[in-house]
Homo-oligomer: A and B are copies of this chain.
């Protein structure tokens, strides 16, 4: 095969498994249903099983050819429901890729050379009159394989729960505060169905994206994170995008949004969707705007509608649609510090003002629902009026739009279309909770999906941190998915390392939220790592971390010798000052002494200690040595 030069980088996708890790599966109720997890082998013989977003890329047994796309996970499930049909689909226009009509031939030729056409699937859609959304099935009481998949995936193996619960004092002391969430100890397929039925969770899974490994977004599931990738008018190239996807899911992105806006966006999207095991979201107005040469006023419902169908046929799992930005709200931004900062929002605002008309996204909302339910594309109702600075947080523009998103949610649900709600943005810490409260109140527990929020405005270059603070807090409060922010936010396009930095910061935020909510099993990984830390199992400490490579590298900078990885001290304090070493000595010392004392200790320890000390006597010693 004469692969063009431009594929070279794709042929070297990041494919190494994580250290000491291998892919395992949790089997479901049918032979074609099994959920991949990552098992980490510890040096003490234990195994820790982790939720895994990386897809087949970290499985050396799977051969991957990006020119063919990933193996099909759920094609059979879709087919056997017998409510969809394949059809010829919309013709791919040169304009879809930003090329002018006269460029069409050259464009097509380039595509063929690139093998891109081979990646196009024959699209499916609902049969006439059918509704193929997971919500529609759920509301009819059906547990789909997708729901069972999600249940198994959310549960994981929960292998430490028994040990965790065995220490009653600890289990009670660190039990989370769910802040209104109702997370069961075991997630059943029926629970998933019920959550989807009432709109409290979504499973973004377009019928034209059978490669997806189903996952759920909802306040009673693990908090998820989204990473944005995409080229732009100024930099980037198609080849980089697929590796960006692989890189993003490697580090833990549960969803990826393709925000490409330059040339070749149709083709880029084919590449991404066909190679993605995670749901892909887009903002269709970006491509629609390209089609009208970047002139917002020239947008029409017809062009937008055509773009929705184009992307639904490609398999995009959710669309950001700024249908809540209504004409009457635009003037509310006039006194703002930073106006309208959403790209989609500002495009629609410009259109509304130019035409003196209500947004066509709002007036055609039910028409959009009809498209969504024919492919099971989920709504991500966009917050076009989100604040772009702390000064604009929680203002009437923002909340007027949020209330409208709540109304639109009800309409979407009338059509059984899965829906989540986008949220800010820039919000100081003390104003975060009321964002969640308003969202819950007006949007009826539809999953909230927030960008950050950034808690301060003065950290350009570090906005992944400024926003991870807000993300953790709003995640604890009930937000279901956190859209990452990279260190390049406000400054430029993220590169490979920025994407990783953003994802790790958001994995921290999401996990902090899970722990705070008391998600069953969330603490297990923390406990396993803490135990490894205390027992000086350095390799296990690295391998259980969010980024084993960096942890190992940092350790090796000061103590590079292999022997130091089993040393009972580290470079921070040196051998004499290691508190953990001293603690162990204290326990051993205590174990040698005091069998008699241990009996005394067993009853009413502290009171007795006080009496004892008051008398100036000898000391009680620890009951237990290290096992």
Contact = CB atoms under 8 A, between A and B. Distances in A.
Nearest to A606: B328
A68 interface: no
B460 A551 contact: yes
A490 interface: yes
A590 interface: yes
Interface in A574-595: 574-580, 582-587, 589-590
A342 B580 CA distance: 8
Contact of A465 (B390, B393, B465, B516): B465
A477 to B, nearest CB: 10
Interface string A336-368: 011111110111011011101110000000000
A354 to B, nearest CB: 7
Contact of A174 (B393, B513, B530): B393
A265 B510 CA distance: 42
A350 B571 CA distance: 21
Nearest to A625: B334
A390 B530 contact: yes
Contacts of A301: none
B296 A457 contact: no
A84 interface: no
B429 A476 contact: yes
Interface in A457-476: 457-462, 464-466, 468-469, 472-473, 476
B234 A574 contact: yes
A564 to B, nearest CB: 10
Interface string A157-168: 000000000010
A161 to B, nearest CB: 14
A62 interface: no
Nearest to A509: B469
A176 B428 contact: yes
Interface centre among A358, A428, A493, A523 (most CB of B within 10 A): A428
A334 B624 contact: yes
A446 to B, nearest CB: 24
A582 B340 contact: yes
Given A389-B533, A461-B554, A531-B337, A456 B492 contact: no
B430 A391 contact: no
Nearest to A590: B353
Contacts of A495: 557
Contacts of A609: 327-328, 331
Interface stretch (A13-21, A205-213, A610-618): A610-618
Contacts of A233: 573-577
Interface string A544-572: 11110011011101110000000000111
A286 B357 contact: no
Contact of A346 (B458, B527, B553, B579): B579
B516 A327 contact: no
Contacts of A347: 577, 579, 582
A279 interface: no
Given A533-B389, A613-B328, A167 B335 contact: yes
Contacts of A464: 465
A340 B577 CA distance: 12
A562 to B, nearest CB: 15
A534 interface: yes
Interface string A408-432: 0000000000000000000011110
B490 A533 contact: yes
Contacts of A511: 456, 458
Contacts of A491: 551, 554-555, 570, 572
A430 B176 contact: yes
A261 B574 contact: yes
Contacts of A530: 337-338, 388-391, 457
A138 interface: no
Given A462-B547, A469-B508, A586 B330 contact: yes
Interface string A527-541: 101110110000001
A515 B457 CA distance: 10
- Top-6 shortest CB links A-B: A233-B574, A328-B609, A339-B583, A389-B530, A346-B582, A334-B622
14 contacts: A261-B576, A337-B530, A345-B579, A388-B533, A390-B530, A429-B513, A429-B516, A456-B511, A457-B533, A459-B546, A461-B547, A465-B465, A487-B554, A492-B570
